């Protein structure tokens, strides 16, 4: 049993004023792993105060100084690869496969931030004026549990590149993962107050970050519902917001695609991070006359998606993060049944032998139409809905008939055709014939998948405020 009873303010591990504890429960066994002591409003205010003071000097650092800080953090994280992967599998139930990829992305976010600093001009000429891209101020970072340290690294590295200081509120369910990254960040020896981390509840710590006038910007990743609450509060002090929210990503397989490749890829896209991924391809759109072929390919392929102990390197689908998430996913499977969709694979209940953890059977529904709740709402578990279409135009229409627009997938053996279809999908990223990540390309959503973009130049500029110096001749 571990007790995490410190938060991090102004370069030091400190005991929070908050006295409540939250139990950390293993998703794999539902045994108690430990406890975390939660920060309160006053702790959050102290963290914001520290970030505000640090901003005075940190905002004036040079690009080369910031590059050095980023390199320092990266080199400490590099020394603890196994620890990062182990704690993510233990505390969150992320599979070894996913945790390994996530760890690589953590490191890459520092490389990207360094690349940006090497290439970006903070001083530009626009019209006849000098435009200075200045650090925006103290940034509040609020994140969910499904890739906690990944989000900390990508957001913090961009903030540092921009010359901003930060107050970070991770999910309380990620406390042990947070503790590990805190140890690394502490060892990297940054100026005091550049990063402050407060464990605590969204309604308390997150709400204070959203309200406090000394926060200039919020970078949030999480649900669309909470994103709306934060945005409404933020507007009172005109905080800038970057919101990375939910998704219901369509995956269009065109009739000329190589289905023997596209179907395993589609299952991979649907079940990534055990289905707990905002970018998961959860609506699979296939030509009506290929349904039988798709059904048999899915039956053949799904046993490869081994469900079980996340520590086993062969496991593709681990447990849901909490019992609450497990129940939510079960409710959606029941909803699909009630709505008249048909289960091709998986279904209600836990897989045999995995009764102690929050395990869901990877589930595939057929006979789904795009008006059903299972086709419209984000389930955040390994549940795939298959929808058939008659024409390419109809496929595009169904793909875009959603309140979300985070990511989409298109497969075709004709790359020109895939490009033409991809260019008509209203999503922040469209993956063509594969699944990749370009850390210098923008990431974020159309419609209710969010506001703004992360990564690359567009992501960096969300942490900067332009000041035009106009000097009439």
User: What is the widest separation between alpha-carbon atoms in the chain?
Assistant: 79
Query: Contact between 43 and ligand NAP (CB under 6 A)?
Result: no
Q: How far is Cα 351 from Cα 176, in angstroms, rounded to an integer?
A: 28
Contact 77, 293 (CB under 8 A): no
CB nearer to ligand NAP: give 67 or 207. 207
Distance of CA 154 to the CA centre of its chain: 10
CA dihedral 278, 279, 283, 286 (to 10 degrees): -170
Give the closest residue to 364 by CA, choosing from 412, 423, 319, 298: 298
Q: Based on the residue annotation, tell me whether 454 is a catalytic residue of this protein.
A: no
CB nearer to ligand NAP: give 61 or 223. 223
Nearest distance from C-beta of residue 219 to ligand NAP, angstroms: 10
Nearest distance from C-beta of residue 416 to ligand NAP, angstroms: 30
Contacting residue, 85, 138, 142, 398, with ligand NAP by CB under 6 A: 142
CB nearer to ligand NAP: give 360 or 395. 360
Contacting residue, 223, 293, 424, 457, with ligand NAP by CB under 6 A: 223
DSSP string spanning 293-316?
HHHHHHHHHGGGS-BS-TTSTT-S
Task: Kindly give, in sequence order, each residue whose CB lies less than 8 Å from that of residue 253, ignoring residues fewer than 6 positions away.
Answer: 259, 262, 263, 266, 284, 285, 286, 287, 290, 294, 411
Nearest distance from C-beta of residue 221 to ligand NAP, angstroms: 5
Stretch 350-409 residues interacting with ligand NAP (CB under 6 A): 378, 380, 406
DSSP string spanning 390-415?
SSHHHHHHHHH-SS--SEEEEE-S-H
Angle between helices 415-422 and 392-400 (to 10 degrees): 40
Contacts with ligand NAP, 404-443, as mask; x by CB under 6 A: --x-------------------------------------
Nearest distance from C-beta of residue 197 to ligand NAP, angstroms: 12
CB nearer to ligand NAP: give 63 or 201. 201
Task: Kindly give, in sequence order, each residue whose CB lies less than 8 Å from that of residue 124, ignoring residues fewer than 6 positions away.
Answer: 130, 131, 133
Contact 169, 196 (CB under 8 A): no
Question: Which is the catalytic residue, given 91, 244, 378, 454?
Answer: 244
Contacting residue, 50, 230, 379, 427, with ligand NAP by CB under 6 A: 230
| Window of 152-160, 243-251, 284-292, 409-417 that interacts with ligand NAP by CB under 6 A | 243-251
Contacting residue, 16, 27, 135, 144, with ligand NAP by CB under 6 A: 144
CB nearer to ligand NAP: give 189 or 225. 225
Contacting residue, 145, 305, 455, 463, with ligand NAP by CB under 6 A: 145
Q: Per the structure block, which two tokens stand in for 167?
A: 């107050």
| Window of 49-57, 144-152, 334-342, 352-360 that interacts with ligand NAP by CB under 6 A | 144-152
Contacting residue, 12, 31, 104, 203, with ligand NAP by CB under 6 A: 203
DSSP strand pairing (342-347 vs 361-366): antiparallel
Task: Kindly give, in sequence order, each residue whose CB lies less than 8 Å from that of residue 90, ignoring residues fewer than 6 positions away.
Answer: 26, 28, 33, 176, 311
| Window of 62-70, 112-120, 167-175, 191-199 that interacts with ligand NAP by CB under 6 A | 167-175
* Positions in the binding site for ligand NAP (CB under 6 A): 142-146, 169, 171-172, 201-203, 206-207, 210, 221-223, 226, 229-230, 244-247, 278, 378, 380, 406, 450
Catalytic positions, written as ranges: 244
């Amino acid at each position: 049993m571990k007790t995490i009873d410190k938060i991090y303010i102004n370069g030091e591990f400190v005991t929070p004023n908050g006295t409540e504890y939250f139990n950390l429960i293993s998703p794999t066994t539902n045994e108690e792993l430990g406890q975390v002591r939660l920060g309160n409003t006053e702790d959050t205010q102290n963290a914001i105060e520290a970030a505000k003071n640090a901003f005075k000097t940190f905002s004036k650092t040079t690009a080369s100084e910031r590059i050095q800080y980023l390199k320092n953090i990266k080199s400490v994280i590099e020394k603890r690869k196994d620890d990062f992967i182990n704690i993510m599998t233990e505390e969150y139930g992320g599979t070894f496969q996913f945790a390994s990829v996530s760890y690589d992305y953590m490191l890459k976010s520092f490389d990207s931030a360094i690349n940006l600093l090497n290439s970006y001009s903070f001083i530009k000429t626009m019209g006849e004026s000098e435009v200075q891209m200045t650090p925006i101020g103290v940034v509040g970072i609020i994140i969910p549990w499904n890739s906690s340290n990944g989000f900390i690294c990508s957001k913090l590295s961009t903030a540092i590149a921009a010359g901003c200081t930060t107050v970070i509120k991770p999910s309380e369910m990620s406390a042990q993962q947070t503790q590990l990254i805190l140890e690394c960040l502490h060892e990297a020896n940054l100026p005091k107050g550049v990063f402050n981390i407060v464990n605590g509840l969204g309604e308390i710590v997150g709400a204070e970050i959203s309200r406090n006038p000394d926060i200039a910007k919020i970078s949030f990743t999480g649900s669309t519902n909470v994103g709306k609450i934060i945005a409404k509060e933020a507007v009172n002090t005109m905080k800038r917001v970057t919101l990375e929210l939910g998704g219901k990503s369509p995956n269009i397989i065109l009739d000329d695609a190589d289905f023997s490749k596209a179907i395993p890829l589609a299952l991979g896209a649907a079940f990534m991070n055990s289905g707990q991924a905002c970018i998961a391809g959860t609506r699979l759109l296939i030509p009506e006359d290929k349904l039988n072929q798709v059904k048999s390919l899915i039956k053949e392929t799904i046993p490869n998606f081994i469900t079980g102990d996340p520590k086993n390197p062969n496991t593709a689908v681990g447990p849901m993060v909490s019992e609450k998430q497990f129940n939510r996913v079960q409710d959606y499977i029941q909803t699909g049944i009630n709505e008249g969709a048909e289960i091709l694979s998986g279904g209600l209940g836990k897989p045999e032998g995995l009764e102690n953890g929050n395990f869901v059977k990877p589930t595939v529904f057929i006979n789904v139409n795009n008006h059903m709740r299972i086709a419209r709402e984000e389930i955040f578990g390994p549940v795939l809905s298959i929808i058939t279409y008659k024409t390419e135009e109809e496929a595009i229409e169904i793909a875009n008939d959603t309140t979300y627009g985070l990511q989409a997938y298109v497969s075709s053996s004709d790359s020109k055709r895939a490009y033409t279809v991809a260019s008509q999908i209203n999503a922040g990223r469209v993956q063509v014939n594969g699944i990749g990540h370009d850390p210098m390309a923008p990431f974020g959503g159309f419609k209710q998948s969010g506001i703004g973009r992360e990564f690359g130049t567009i992501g960096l500029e969300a942490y900067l405020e332009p000041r035009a110096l106009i000097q009439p001749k």
